């Protein structure tokens, strides 16, 4: 079982943040956000991050690669409730052989951590249907770094 990758306090330049307000349809019978909806929140901020580096799903497909999520780890610390404003943060922490993104969901006003998560995605050559064992040069280009 892989673990959520924790970095030092220094952050990379490949991050995005967004805010959202918890909607009624995201609640469970206990009147808190149903645990499965946190995956949706991760997707919202992941798309913001991918947009920021100009490599969202349309650009991925156009480059000839799909990037499926192959692993997801979530750690719930505290519950979110109706009307609460959440701050969502995603940060790329690995990119050489796979794309690892760490997430933090917190209360927008107090900063209280609610959920920490991590996803791992790998490049799959769309035409061959084969997983790549190293990230393709297009990812390095989008990150603005040279491929190793």
Q: What pLDDT digit, counting tens, does each position of 8-32 carry? A: 445 578 999 999 999 999 999 999 9
Identify whether the C-beta of residue 72 lies closer than 8 Å to the C-beta of residue 117. yes
The pLDDT, as a whole number, for residue 11 is: 56
Q: What Rg do the C-alpha atoms of the chain give, in angstroms?
A: 16
Q: What pLDDT digit, counting tens, does each position of 84-123 carry? A: 999 999 999 999 999 999 999 999 999 999 999 999 999 9
In Å, what is the CA distance from 18 to each residue of 2, 98, 141? Answer: 26, 24, 24
15-143 adopts what CATH topology?
A: Thiol Ester Dehydrase; Chain A (3.10.129)
pLDDT grade for 6, boundaries at 50, 70 and 90: very low
Handedness of CA 126, 132, 136, 140 (dihedral sign): positive
The pLDDT, as a whole number, for residue 119 is: 98
Q: Which residues of 22-41 are buried (b: 16+ CB within 10 A; e: fewer)?
A: beeebbeeeebbeeebbeeb
pTM recorded for the entire structure: 0.90
Identify whether the C-beta of residue 119 lies closer than 8 Å to the C-beta of residue 69. yes
Q: In this structure, what is the dihedral angle of CA atoms 121, 9, 90, 130, given to the nearest 10 degrees? A: -10
CA-to-CA distance for 57 and 11, rounded, in angstroms?
24
H or E element that contains 16: strand 15-21
């Amino acid at each position: 079982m892989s673990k959520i990758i924790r970095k030092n306090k220094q952050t990379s330049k490949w991050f995005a943040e967004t805010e959202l307000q918890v909607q009624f349809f995201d609640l469970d019978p206990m009147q808190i956000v149903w645990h499965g909806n946190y995956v949706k929140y991760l997707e919202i901020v992941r798309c913001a991050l991918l947009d920021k580096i100009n490599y969202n799903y349309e650009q991925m497909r156009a480059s000839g690669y799909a990037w499926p999520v192959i692993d997801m780890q979530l750690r719930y610390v505290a519950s979110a409730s109706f009307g609460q404003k959440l701050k969502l943060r995603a940060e790329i922490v690995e990119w050489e052989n796979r794309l690892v993104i760490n997430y933090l969901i917190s209360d927008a006003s107090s900063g209280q951590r609610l959920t920490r998560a991590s996803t791992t995605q790998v490049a799959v050559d769309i035409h061959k249907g084969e997983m790549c064992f190293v990230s393709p040069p297009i990812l390095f280009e989008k990150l603005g770094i040279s491929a190793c």
